[in-house]
């Protein structure tokens, strides 16, 4: 019970602090869904954040939902949570109304938010959302934002129409703070990575080498299937077909 309380404790108001290093959004262009390197966010230098538009981008769901936290041992716990896609964190609303991060994640196996399940990878310290479950293995997806480009914009005062209170004109790259001019903006690319989790909850990046390692007993058959079907491991549907085939082998 004590561990559960610790797991729901705050690491601090990460919504306000950590977002500074990731660069926060005032204006954006983002389509919904899990596309490969096709989704972009325009980040205005000096922009103000805190609007509903920002929350729509940052969070996986439009609102905090009832969730079940399942631990590696012990009984589950419940709460209202949402997954922050920019920070890769599970957030909940604290007693004072602050947005806080779920702590002590080494205790957590998965978080179920509505019909979606997020498994915790202790090695990479990240959550992967379940796409398909094949009993012996699971297909998961993680999404991250990376700096794609920067470009000159229009006059500074033509950018701003948000109503929050904090301005940002810098961003973090490899631990170093970079500064931009007020007439520039960054373009962040949303990129998906696929993982395969085995029965021991060990996560493997969905590469050919790892797939063959997981299904080493059937290596020739798996290689032949990948070649005959021209499997693209960056495509979700191809991965589903491949894993469905692999898990049906005797």
**Domain spans in the chain, listed from the N-terminal domain onward:** 2-205, 207-250
**Taking each helix axis from N to C terminus, what angle separates 219-228 and 236-247, rounded to the nearest 10 degrees?**
150
Taking only the tens place, the pLDDT of each residue in 73-132 is: 889 999 899 998 877 889 988 888 888 899 899 999 999 999 999 999 999 889 999 999
Average pLDDT taken over every residue of the chain = 73
| pLDDT recorded at residue 43 | 58
DSSP state of 59: B
Long-range contacts of residues 214-223, Cβ cutoff 8 Å, at least 24 apart: 214/137, 214/246, 215/246, 215/249, 217/249, 218/246, 218/249, 221/249, 222/246, 222/249
Residues near 250 by Cβ (< 8 Å), separated by ≥ 6? Answer: none
Percent of the chain with pLDDT over 90: 42
CA separation (Å) from 229 to 205, 242, 246? 20, 9, 13
Q: State how far the Cα of 101 lies from the Cα of 142, in Å rounded to an integer.
A: 18
If we measure between CA atoms, which residue out of 40, 19, 26, 41 comes closest to residue 89?
19
Tokens 């609007």, residue?
51
Write the CA distances from 221 to 210, 211, 212, 216, integer angstroms.
15, 12, 10, 10
Reduce the DSSP state of residue 35 to 3 states and report it.
coil
Q: What is the per-residue pLDDT for 148?
A: 59
Yes or no: say if 26 and 54 are a contact pair by the CB < 8 Å rule: yes
Token digits for 79? 């709460």
Q: At residue 250, does pLDDT exceed 80?
A: yes
Lowest-confidence segment of 39-43, 77-81, 97-101, 158-162 by average pLDDT: 158-162
Confirm if 54 and 25 have CB atoms less than 8 A apart.
Answer: yes
The residue assigned the tokens 């019909």 is: 115
CA nearest neighbour of 133 among 113, 116, 156, 155: 116
Cα dihedral across residues 195, 196, 199, 202: positive or negative: negative
Mean pLDDT of 213-229: 97
SS3 132: strand
pLDDT of residue 144 exceeding 50: yes
């Amino acid at each position: 019970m004590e561990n559960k309380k610790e797991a729901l404790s705050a690491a601090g108001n990460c919504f306000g602090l950590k977002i500074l290093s990731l660069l926060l959004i005032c204006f954006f262009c983002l389509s919904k869904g899990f596309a490969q390197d096709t989704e972009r966010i325009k980040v205005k230098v000096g922009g103000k954040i805190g609007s509903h538009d920002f929350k729509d981008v940052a969070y996986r769901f439009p609102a905090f939902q009832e969730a079940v936290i399942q631990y590696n041992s012990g009984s589950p716990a419940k709460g209202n949570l949402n997954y922050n896609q920019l920070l890769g964190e599970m957030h909940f609303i604290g007693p004072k109304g602050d947005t806080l991060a779920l702590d002590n994640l080494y205790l957590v196996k998965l978080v179920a938010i509505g019909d979606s399940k997020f498994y915790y990878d202790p090695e990479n310290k990240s959550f992967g959302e379940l796409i398909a479950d094949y009993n012996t293995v699971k297909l998961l997806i993680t999404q991250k934002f990376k700096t794609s480009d920067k470009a000159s914009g229009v006059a500074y005062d033509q950018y701003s129409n948000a109503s929050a209170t904090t301005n940002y004109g810098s961003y973090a790259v490899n631990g170093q703070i970079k500064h931009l001019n007020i007439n520039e903006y960054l373009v962040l690319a949303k990129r998906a990575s696929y993982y395969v989790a085995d029965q021991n909850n060990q996560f493997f990046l969905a590469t050919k080498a790892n797939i063959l390692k997981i299904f080493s007993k059937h290596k020739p058959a798996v290689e032949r299937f990948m070649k005959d079907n021209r499997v693209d491991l960056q495509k979700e549907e191809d991965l589903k077909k491949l894993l469905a085939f692999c898990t049906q082998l005797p």
